[in-house]
Amino acid sequence: MDFELTDDQRLIQQTARDFATREIEPIAAALDKTARWPGEIVAQMGALGFLGMTIPTEYGGAGLDNVSYSLACEELSRACASCGVIMSVNNSLFCDPLLKFGNEWQKREILTPTASGKLLGAYGLTEPSSGSDAQTMQTVAEKQGDGSWILNGSKNFITNGPEADHVLVFAITARVDGRAKHTALIVKKGQPGYAQSPHDEKLGIHAAHSCTIYFENVRVEKEYVLGDEGGGFKIAMATLDGGRIGIASQALGIARAALEKAIAYSKERKSFNQPLATFQAIQWMIADSDVELDAARLLTLRAAAMKDRGLRHSAESAMAKLYASEMSTRVTHRALQIFGGYGYTTEYGMERHYRDARITEIYEGTSEIQRIVIAKNAIG
Ligand code: CAA
């Protein structure tokens, strides 16, 4: 077993770190405060290849591996968790399924501009009354005589939804023996019958906009069906196996930002005439956080390496996402504690990391859902 990154992976990590430190970190607090969509950062991420990292260069991507993707997502999220998830959704939840299940036309016409950052993608599974139990969705699509589909329903909490050019929408297209059959449809924004809400107001990741999208008799031409008719639920699940690596990486970045700041502060700030870092209570908080962060990174990179080797990684991605997200909540909690009252104010930005960490336990499957996936794999 080799724990060393390759030279190429180190280069990507360093490139992402430099870009994030130079371009994103200085504006991250303002993005959080104003909830402004970071259009200029999204454009730069596209130009640098961060929006289609694992997509072959012939389809507009950077042609890299999933380990590099995870490393880059951690670095971007360390600077700004909103930018991290914008990037992760485009990579994992839109480009990855188009590469895996798309036909040549879809790869040329839709994947290529999205992987290169000219267009933006989103993923529409969740509905107002169907989150964890994803099969119970209400959105339906009915096949027409010419092979096109008429789509009706709504999807909510759609990250990148307000800005996306295409949304990968999962809809019920048949019922067999009372069981719903789902199909994945690539839906273009702005057609007749397509509407969206203002972006959601949230606890954290303020600059990563999400919204509800409504479909009222939206026509989807047959060229826009992704994969097999009736095979959509498996596409949704397989896609989330990859997406959970992205969210685990985002959680790592958030935790690392908080821990690095807490360590620096503990060396400067004195209490009882000594730097905080000399107190064992503080050292233990830092030590526990350091161990947990490292363990989460190992789980995440293992899942990414398995994906690179073409192995089924559903349980490993769920383990990485479960542990990394809960770790991020614990680490940001401790880091804020080290800052004391200053942590609770907006002055040092610790409360941003604390708020941003929380979503990683919820989206792309709650911690409870990750435990279901892990237990199913363990028990059989
Ligand atoms: N890969 C391929 N196929 C899979 C799969 C996977 N990872 N997981 C399940 N399947 C297949 C099963 O083999 C099964 O196939 P058959 O019908 O042929 O037997 C089929 O899919 C149904 O599987 P289950 O019976 O296990 O399905 P279930 O209804 O019990 O649900 C679940 C399983 C794990 C709870 C699932 O519903 C789930 O993951 N829920 C959470 C949904 C979620 O993560 N939502 C997040 C929304 S996206 C988001 O947050 C994006 C954002 O904006 C950031």
Helix intervals (H) in 80-123: 81-88, 96-101, 104-106, 112-115
* CA–CA distance, 24 with 21 (Å, rounded to integer): 6
**Residue whose CA is closest, atom 10 of ligand 1?**
234
Residue 156: give the domain boundaries: 122-230
- The DSSP result for 185-213, as a single string, is EEEETT-TTEEEPPPPP-SS-TTS-EEEE
* CA–CA distance, 275 with 226 (Å, rounded to integer): 58
* 224 and 240 co-located in one domain: no
Res 176: pLDDT: 94
Residue 176, number of CB atoms within 10 A of its CB:
8
* 341 and 290 co-located in one domain: yes
* CA–CA distance, 37 with 190 (Å, rounded to integer): 19
Closest CA to 255 of 121, 128, 357, 174: 357
* 151 and 133 co-located in one domain: yes
pLDDT, tens digit, 9 for 90 and up, residues 134-183? 999 999 999 999 999 999 999 999 999 999 999 999 999 999 999 999 99
* CA–CA distance, 374 with 380 (Å, rounded to integer): 10
Res 167: pLDDT: 98
Radius of gyration of the chain (CA): 21
pLDDT, tens digit, 9 for 90 and up, residues 317-346? 999 999 999 999 999 999 999 999 999 999
* CA–CA distance, 352 with 203 (Å, rounded to integer): 9
**Residue 72 binned pLDDT confidence (cut-offs 50, 70, 90):** very high
* CA–CA distance, 74 with 77 (Å, rounded to integer): 5
Number of domains in the chain: 3
Closest ligand 1 atom, residue 89 Cα: 54
Res 2: pLDDT: 87
Closest ligand 1 atom, residue 362 Cα: 50
pLDDT, tens digit, 9 for 90 and up, residues 344-355? 999 999 999 999
* 284 and 325 co-located in one domain: yes
CA of 190 to the centre of ligand 1 (A): 29
Mean pLDDT, rounded, for 118-128: 98
The H helix count followed by the E strand count for the chain is 14, 10
Last residue of a domain, one of 102, 119, 136: 119
CA of 167 to the centre of ligand 1 (A): 19
* 239 and 347 co-located in one domain: yes
% of the chain residues with pLDDT over 90: 99
Last residue of a domain, one of 230, 245, 272: 230
Residue whose token pair is 């107190």: 279
Residue 34, number of CB atoms within 10 A of its CB:
11
* 87 and 132 co-located in one domain: no
* CA–CA distance, 273 with 23 (Å, rounded to integer): 38
**Residue 15 binned pLDDT confidence (cut-offs 50, 70, 90):** very high
Cα of 40 vs its chain's centroid, Å: 19
* CA–CA distance, 354 with 375 (Å, rounded to integer): 29
Mean pLDDT, rounded, for 47-75: 98
For residue 97, being part of any structural domain is answered with yes
Mean pLDDT, rounded, for 111-125: 98
Identify the H or E element spanning 333: helix 314-339
* 149 and 242 co-located in one domain: no
CA of 109 to the centre of ligand 1 (A): 28
Pocket lined around ligand 1, Cβ cut-off 6 Å = 89, 93, 123, 125-126, 132-135, 157-159, 233-234, 237-238, 240-241, 314, 363-365, 369, 372-373
Closest ligand 1 atom, residue 241 Cα: 7
Last residue of a domain, one of 200, 230, 260: 230
Torsion of CA 365, 366, 367, 372, to 10 degrees: -60
**Residue whose CA is closest, atom 4 of ligand 1?**
234
**Residue whose CA is closest, atom 27 of ligand 1?**
135
Mean pLDDT, rounded, for 30-41: 98
Res 310: pLDDT: 98
- Characterize 5-32 residue by residue with b for buried, 16 or more Cβ atoms within 10 angstroms of its Cβ, and e for exposed: eeeebeebbebbbebbeebbbebbeebb
**Residue whose CA is closest, atom 44 of ligand 1?**
365
What SS3 state is found at 142?
Answer: strand
* 221 and 171 co-located in one domain: yes
Residue whose token pair is 């009882």: 272
* 115 and 143 co-located in one domain: no
For residue 1, being part of any structural domain is answered with no
* 101 and 147 co-located in one domain: no
CA of 66 to the centre of ligand 1 (A): 21
Reply yes or no on whether 364 is catalytic: yes
Closest ligand 1 atom, residue 372 Cα: 34
* 267 and 362 co-located in one domain: yes
Res 1: pLDDT: 85
Q: What is the CATH number of the domain that holds 81?
A: 1.10.540.10
Mean pLDDT score of the chain: 98
Predicted confidence (pLDDT) at residue 114 exceeds the cutoff of 90: yes
pLDDT, tens digit, 9 for 90 and up, residues 181-218? 999 999 999 999 999 999 999 999 999 999 999 999 99
pLDDT, tens digit, 9 for 90 and up, residues 269-307? 999 999 999 999 999 999 999 999 999 999 999 999 999
* CA–CA distance, 296 with 129 (Å, rounded to integer): 32
Cβ neighbours for 7, distance < 8 A, ≥ 6 positions apart: none
Cβ neighbours for 137, distance < 8 A, ≥ 6 positions apart: 125, 127, 130, 153, 170, 171, 172, 180, 182
